[in-house]
Amino acid sequence: MDTTELTLRPVRPADRERTLEITKDVWEGRDYVPRVFDRWVSDAGAEFQAAEIEGVVVGLQRLRPYAPGLIWYEGLRVAGESRRRGIARAMLQAAIAEAHEQGFHEMRLATRDVPAIRLFESAGFKAVVEMKWWRGLRVEGGEPARIPEPGEARKLWPALQSSPGVELYAGIVPDMNGARDLSAEELERLAAGGLIRVGPGGRAIALLREPWGQNVAVSLLAGRGGALRELLMALRFEADADGLNHVTVNLPPGHPAEEDLRASGYDFADAEHSAFVYALKLD
């Protein structure tokens, strides 16, 4: 297929059925794109794009500014009958060029798909952090963890910086919805959204993200020993109190918190696969 014929335009509400066709076999029918379709179409702050050839939508992608100088790339999908013809590469290159023209200094994304990893690495993206998923089922009877105020969150920064294994996060919060730089300012922003939980005396910290399912979703852990284990149990209590199924924790392989997770009733949600946050410098 000649990808010079490829054109990009905004996705429209009328593209819903075609989107369902393109995504029906992704992740064994559990793709998240149909679930967020309406929100993405109506979001004027991002670009949800359809790729067309001869008037037929053959692919989808989204570019979303989410922090100063940073743009998030997500939702790359190519119709089954159009794969392995260079369409994904052409779409990605167009997105990179657009982000560069708009003055962003870095593009980030998250993926666990092996063909996508090959594509992104061939385009110059570098892996920043690797993540494994851990899961703890909800538990009745205990108290959920404390939620700090934004003003208190900044005071947690020294403890987080000195936490064992924090270097494995490579200076970012590995949120697969948009990985921001890890900083005192980011702690304050997350706290303003109610997305931080702390253990006894502030000696253990969990940064939360928007979940993709019926769970409490943790993107970063800090702390050790009894304080961290108490926090991990409190998250399981919170899941139960909120009527959710479980807690999901993103953790880099080899992180010292693995021992605390096991001791608190957590296990691998998917031991065979890793997810990665990738970054491409645009300067």
Of 229, 35, 53, the closest CA to residue 145 belongs to: 229
Q: What integer is the mean pLDDT of 180-187?
A: 97
| Residues 123-164 pLDDT 10s | 999 999 999 999 999 999 899 999 999 999 999 999 999 999
Contact at 8 Å (CB) between 93 and 73?
no
pLDDT score for 273: 86
Residues 6 or more apart whose Cβ sits within 8 Å of residue 116: 76
| Residues 9-62 pLDDT 10s | 999 999 999 999 999 988 878 899 999 999 999 999 999 999 999 999 999 999
For residues 20 and 139, give the distance between their C-alpha atoms in angstroms, rounded to a whole number. 36
Of 66, 31, 11, the closest CA to residue 181 belongs to: 66
For residues 29 and 276, give the distance between their C-alpha atoms in angstroms, rounded to a whole number. 22
Q: Which domains does the chain have, with CATH numbers?
A: 3-104 (3.40.630.30), 131-274 (3.40.630.30)
| Residues 53-112 pLDDT 10s | 999 999 999 999 999 999 999 999 999 888 888 999 999 999 999 999 999 999 999 999
Of 234, 218, 135, 121, the closest CA to residue 174 belongs to: 218
Q: What integer is the mean pLDDT of 185-201?
A: 96
pTM, to two decimals: 0.93
Q: What integer is the mean pLDDT of 174-200?
A: 96
In 167-206, which positions are buried (b, 16+ CB within 10 angstroms) versus exposed (e)?
ebbbebbbbbebbbebbeebbbbbbeeebbbbbeebbbbb
pLDDT score for 255: 96
| Residues 227-281 pLDDT 10s | 999 999 999 999 999 999 999 999 999 999 999 999 999 999 887 889 999 999 9
pLDDT > 90: percent of the chain: 87
